[in-house]
Structure 1
Amino acid sequence: MNMDVAPRLEWWQQAWRLAAAVAVGVLPWLTTGVVLHQHGVGTGSWWFIGDPLVALGCLTALLWRRRFPLAVTLTVAIASTASALATGALLMALVSISTRRRPVEIGIVVLAFVAASQFAVGLYPVPNSPGSLWLRLAFPALTAGIAVAAGMAIGARRVEVRSLRDRAESAEREQAARAAQARALERNRIAREMHDVLAHRISLVAMQAGVLDHRGNLTAEENRVLVRGIADGSHQALEELRDVLGVLRSDPGDPEPPQPSFDSIPALVDDARASGLDVTFTSTMTGTPSEAVGRTCYRVVQEGLTNAAKHAPGAPVHLTLEGTAGDTVRVAVHNAAGPRDHRTGAPPPASGFGLLGLTERVTLAGGSLAHHPTPDRGYVLTVRIPWPKHGNEKRA
């Protein structure tokens, strides 16, 4: 951005500035006429006609001072020495070019004005006027210096205001970028929660529906149990989805719905067992981890049970929790290969983002995740998460 460009003026701003220049010039013009009359020197046609015409020309030239600043200011500085009424136009031109804060331009204009003023003293010959050269140089130099100082101050103020405005606009852009980043992070978090919630429930429902469709030798009671499990699982999936979507519709200050914790893992295992999953749960935890670690452990168990229900329905699943405060928490979910009589013709739908999102969640908690097939054609998911004593974990 060019810091020398002055703000654009409206026509009414131009008009009142020119009117102010005329008002400033009237006083020295009338003073000159009074002094000449007191000393018995006739004002003549120049004071009535020539002086106002020169002032009019200077005021007209000021209309182009922003397009041709140096040329206009030089013209006004030289011409104004022949007109007392043009004093206001001179001061306005000097202030205007000084706002650009270019020493070379200012120096050229001031020298031209001081030099031209020495040749214009004969237009109004006043008796007993100062005859020494340094006095004749000092007065125009002082006049130009005052105008230049005022213009420099105005220019500095414009630069400061423009700098503050640029900084404010930059701060607004940064704030908008931070808000967009926060919205993206929140969308990612909500999407991850939706995946964790729905993938688990829908996988259990799909597993029960697959058993109901594949096995024709079930008793009426077993069919009722499976149908009831499908209905309950679908209802719970809708309820949990409604809770997650409620965050999108709520105000930023509203409290979030309660998040799953470490204490909810046994209920999660019981739910999986009720849906037909053969789960063996072993825990050797020496305490209850913090909210962040517990929530991450819950999501790991949920994703492990979801994948077992998807890819190995009917296979036994071994869930192990180990950990000590101040050390690490180890979560392992191991499932064997699914029995043949539980396999259906169509594979369950897979999003492909479950382990990817879980890896991101575990990484945010400062842990590590590993998953791989086992020799018995099963699969194992292992996660290690730091368990600090004082609960300084990152939110996952």
Structure 2
Amino acid sequence: MTSRPAPDERHPDRLTWWGTTWRLGLALLIGLTLWILTFAITYPDPDADLPEGLRTFWLVLVDPALGLVAAALLLLRRRLPVTTAAVTTLLSGVSVVAAGAQAVAMVSLATRQRWRELVPVTLLAVVTGTFASRIVYPDPDPLPLWAETLFSLLVLAVLVAVGVSIGSRRALVRSWVDRARTAESEQRARVAQAQTAERGRIAREMHDVLAHRISLVTMHSGVLAYREDLPEDERRASVAAIDANARAALTDLREVLGVLRAEDGDAPLRPQSSLVHLPELLDEARAAGSRVSLDDGGIDITAVPETASRAAYRVVQEGLTNARKHAPGAGVDVRLAGRPGDGLEVTVTNPRSVQATGAAVPGSGTGLLGLSERVELAGGRIEHGWAPDGRHRLAVWLPWPV
């Protein structure tokens, strides 16, 4: 996952207009200082008139013009670093004002930390410096050639050292920026993963609750459609059950949609049902006409761990829902067994359908798949299918630590 820089984030290698301006100003300041020193050395008497000749013309007019050209070339040092450094170095051989631009270009080239580029340009700078001091503006009292060469190498070494230091710092800042962007990208990925997981959990809750409610509505509506001889009190009871479960399903759906639409993701769901609410679930199923028996195995359901208790409740709820869908009218047996250390066993069994109530209840086909995922996340095991005795068996084992 890639990360884009923020609109107000400046890349460490990107120059602002101020960064470019002060570099150009520094190059011109250095060049102007060297030009004044050269002028003072060439014409030491300030009261004397300037002699006419090519050297005076060159120093007063051509030299500053070439220095301005060299300074303008600094605008290309990022796109053409080697070319800019080489051209400004050549110009510095015939213009002392261009020496400032040559120094800035040399530092800029050194930030790349590529010695195959630095060595040739450095040697070229030594040659052009010697040419300028010996031919263009000869010193009346020159240093020995070896001393002048050594001095040029020392100055260039300082420039290269400054450039390498700047390049190292830029690389360090660049690595910090890349790490920060990577961390932000990973954080966004973790947040997205957490949101996806939370939406998956909400989807499972919605399936478990709505499938249970809709199956009750469908069963009662099927009875009303195919049993025209129902007594008035039973008919009213079925209509009331349809109304109650439809309203409850609508409330649950509205709650889930509210959570999904919440921008901050903090809209709370109601506390998830657990084995403590199992009697209410069974009473609701019995009120809908299902024949349900419970064998709790003498377990204290309040002592079951919360994770296992919630998963066990969903197992029973899914078993009752599937029985209403695929075996209407058949009795359902719910059995609980286990103890701390051995785990919790939940078994829901039912025979094949003994009556027909009309069209089959449509299903999403993901009930047992979602239940399997829920059980696996809880660290348990699940088995389901038809047993040799002709009964459908949904059996789940959940951990119950001591």
TM-score with structure 1 length normalisation?
0.88
**How far does residue 383 in structure 1 lie from its aligned partner after superposition?**
0.8
Task: Name the residue aligned to 1:82.
Answer: 94
**Which aligned pairs between 1:90-169 and structure 2 lie closer than 5 A?**
90-122=102-134, 123-130=136-143, 132-169=144-181
Given that 1:285 and 1:323 are in contact with CA atoms closer than 8 Å, whether structure 2 keeps it comes out as no
Task: Name the residue aligned to 1:27.
Answer: 33
Given that 2:336 and 2:346 are in contact with CA atoms closer than 8 Å, whether structure 1 keeps it comes out as yes
User: Following the alignment from structure 1 to structure 2, what is the Cα–Cα distance between the partners of residues 50 and 239?
Assistant: 88
User: Following the alignment from structure 1 to structure 2, what is the Cα–Cα distance between the partners of residues 53 and 243?
Assistant: 77
Equivalent pairs, count? 382
**SS of 1:38 mapped into structure 2:** coil
The question of 1:305 aligning with 2:320 is answered yes
User: Following the alignment from structure 1 to structure 2, what is the Cα–Cα distance between the partners of residues 198 and 104?
Assistant: 72
User: Following the alignment from structure 2 to structure 1, what is the Cα–Cα distance between the partners of residues 273 and 231?
Assistant: 36
User: Following the alignment from structure 2 to structure 1, what is the Cα–Cα distance between the partners of residues 237 and 205?
Assistant: 29
Identity %: 45
1:21 maps to amino acid: A
Given that 1:285 and 1:324 are in contact with CA atoms closer than 8 Å, whether structure 2 keeps it comes out as no
User: Following the alignment from structure 1 to structure 2, what is the Cα–Cα distance between the partners of residues 63 and 230?
Assistant: 79
1:240 maps to amino acid: D
User: Following the alignment from structure 2 to structure 1, what is the Cα–Cα distance between the partners of residues 238 and 86?
Assistant: 98
Task: Name the residue aligned to 2:44.
Answer: 38
1:335 maps to amino acid: N
User: Following the alignment from structure 2 to structure 1, what is the Cα–Cα distance between the partners of residues 191 and 346?
Assistant: 35
2:377 to 349, 364, 377: 364
- Call closer, same or farther: CA 1:285–1:109 in 2, change over 3 Å: farther
The question of 1:239 aligning with 2:259 is answered no
**SS of 2:93 mapped into structure 1:** helix
1:283 maps to amino acid: D
User: Following the alignment from structure 2 to structure 1, what is the Cα–Cα distance between the partners of residues 138 and 234?
Assistant: 125
**How far does residue 330 in structure 1 lie from its aligned partner after superposition?**
0.7
**Which aligned pairs between 1:1-396 and structure 2 lie closer than 5 A?**
7=13, 14-38=20-44, 44-122=56-134, 123-130=136-143, 132-250=144-262, 251-287=264-300, 288-340=303-355, 343-375=356-388, 377-389=390-402
Given that 1:197 and 1:241 are in contact with CA atoms closer than 8 Å, whether structure 2 keeps it comes out as no
**How far does residue 31 in structure 1 lie from its aligned partner after superposition?**
1.5
- Call closer, same or farther: CA 1:10–1:225 in 2, change over 3 Å: closer
**How far does residue 14 in structure 1 lie from its aligned partner after superposition?**
4.2
User: Following the alignment from structure 2 to structure 1, what is the Cα–Cα distance between the partners of residues 152 and 60?
Assistant: 23
Task: Name the residue aligned to 1:393.
Answer: none
1:331 maps to amino acid: V
Return 330-339 or 119-128, whichever deviates more.
Answer: 119-128
User: Following the alignment from structure 1 to structure 2, what is the Cα–Cα distance between the partners of residues 325 and 185?
Assistant: 30
CA RMSD of aligned residues (A): 2.5
**How far does residue 315 in structure 1 lie from its aligned partner after superposition?**
1.0
**SS of 2:395 mapped into structure 1:** strand
- Call closer, same or farther: CA 1:143–1:180 in 2, change over 3 Å: same
**SS of 1:313 mapped into structure 2:** coil
1:24 maps to amino acid: I
Unaligned runs of 5+ in 2: 1-10
1:187-230, Cα deviation, whole Å (9 max, x unpaired): 21111111100111111221222223323443222222222222
Unaligned runs of 5+ in 1: 390-396
- Call closer, same or farther: CA 1:84–1:208 in 2, change over 3 Å: same
User: Following the alignment from structure 1 to structure 2, what is the Cα–Cα distance between the partners of residues 221 and 256?
Assistant: 36
Return 288-297 or 368-377, whichever deviates more.
Answer: 368-377
User: Following the alignment from structure 2 to structure 1, what is the Cα–Cα distance between the partners of residues 12 and 374?
Assistant: 54
**How far does residue 241 in structure 1 lie from its aligned partner after superposition?**
2.7
User: Following the alignment from structure 1 to structure 2, what is the Cα–Cα distance between the partners of residues 223 and 57?
Assistant: 100
**How far does residue 25 in structure 1 lie from its aligned partner after superposition?**
0.9
User: Following the alignment from structure 1 to structure 2, what is the Cα–Cα distance between the partners of residues 249 and 50?
Assistant: 72
**How far does residue 167 in structure 1 lie from its aligned partner after superposition?**
2.3
